[in-house]
Amino acid sequence: MRRSARVRKTAMATVIGAAAVLAPAFHHGSSVRAEESPGHRHAFPKEVAGAPEPMQGPALLAEESGVPPRGQRLRAIVARALDDSVATWKRIIGQQSDEVADVSLRFVTRLGPANCYGLYAGEGPAYCSGNRTVFVGTHEANRLMARFGPHGEAGITFLIGHEMGHHIQNIYGRFHLLHRIIARMPGARTDLVRRFELEADCYAGVWIQASPAWARSARFRSDLLTVLAGMGDESILGQEGAENAQTQGLHGTSEQRTRWFVRGTTSGGDWRACNVFSATTP
């Protein structure tokens, strides 16, 4: 049975590991990071969907036993992934390492337009280039973690790696570049955005390969590949979307996402191996 256009649009907007690629290409000089005081934060309109939840730094997310309480598991996974990604990327790119740390983290119940300059960026983790913030919609992220089942930690970790991939793209001006190319070639927008998203998948692989915390864990990498096998556009769009994933999807098929992630893990820590835009087909 064919779904309505509204349902299809909703499916497209439900972004798993997304970037608000049309966000204003600037950022505020003072960013609020996850470890800073909960009282020191950007002002948000008092909307239930977009209001930030109380933040806790990584040191506060675990009990003395080192095992986070059930309600804090998502936050613990996100904090660990973000901290490790920042530390690893600082080693990888060296010269611009200070900019790598210039990323904020916000937990919100659901992402709303107020979070990213009026843009709706979906409900899962999303990166806003305008304020260099990774937003984690806890309602959707917890649903995704349940969907991933025993691979929940790997799934959330990958999504944070993908969003940090967008942060690296932002540091190197690739959001600006994407906007300029789309302005010249509006008919190629879908393909260009898809390549941009696959590049972030590849950067996630670069991080995983270069991270001492993850690189030696064959089981964790196997869990990541299991998650990626069900994270393509054909899965996001549903059965009808499987026929049109190549023309409508913005993140790539499961095969494409897996292939570019693996490219990153075999790059030897060289992010320049993620040359999605120069590939004949992504």
| DSSP letter string, the chain | -PPPHHHHHHHHHS-SSEEETTS-S---SSPPPTTS-TTS-----S-TTTPBPPP--GGGSS-TTSPPPGGGHHHHHHHHHHHHHHHHHHHHHGGGHHHHT--EEEEESS--GGGGTT----SS-EEETTTTEEEEEHHHHHHHHHHHGGGHHHHHHHHHHHHHHHHHHHHTTHHHHHHHHHHH-GGGHHHHHHHHHHHHHHHHHHHHHH-TTTTT-HHHHHHHHHHHTT-SHHHHSHHHHHTTHHHH-SS--HHHHHHHHHHHHTTTT-GGG--GGGSS--
Contacts of 217 (CB under 8 A, 6+ apart): none
User: Which residue would you say has higher pLDDT here, 282 or 68?
Assistant: 282
Instruction: Give the count of domains, the chain.
Output: 1
Maximum alpha-carbon separation in the chain: 56
State how far the alpha carbon of 198 is from the alpha carbons of 43, 106, 150, 238, in Å: 32, 24, 25, 20
Task: Tell me the sheet residues that pair with 134.
Answer: 105, 127
pLDDT for 22? 52
Please choose, from the candidates 125, 161, 121, 126, the residue with its C-alpha nearest in 3D space to the C-alpha of residue 143: 125
| Residues 254-264 pLDDT 10s | 999 999 999 99
| pLDDT confidence tier of residue 248, bands split at 50, 70 and 90 | low
Please choose, from the candidates 137, 155, 158, 154, the residue with its C-alpha nearest in 3D space to the C-alpha of residue 203: 158
Asked whether residue 236 carries a pLDDT value surpassing 90, the answer given is: no
pLDDT for 120? 64
Bridge-based pairing state of the strands 18-20 and 104-108: unpaired
CA distance 261 to 274: 9
pLDDT for 27? 39
Contacts of 279 (CB under 8 A, 6+ apart): 195
| Residues 130-186 pLDDT 10s | 999 999 999 999 999 999 999 999 999 999 999 999 999 999 999 999 999 999 999
Asked whether residue 28 carries a pLDDT value surpassing 50, the answer given is: no
- Answer left, alpha or beta for residue 46, where phi above 0 means left and psi between -120 and 50 means alpha: beta
Contacts of 230 (CB under 8 A, 6+ apart): 254
Query: Mean pLDDT of all residues in the chain?
Result: 77
CA distance 5 to 15: 17
Residue 76 structural domain? 5-278
Half-sphere exposure of 15 (CA within 13 A, CB side): 27
pLDDT for 37? 30
Contacts of 36 (CB under 8 A, 6+ apart): 57
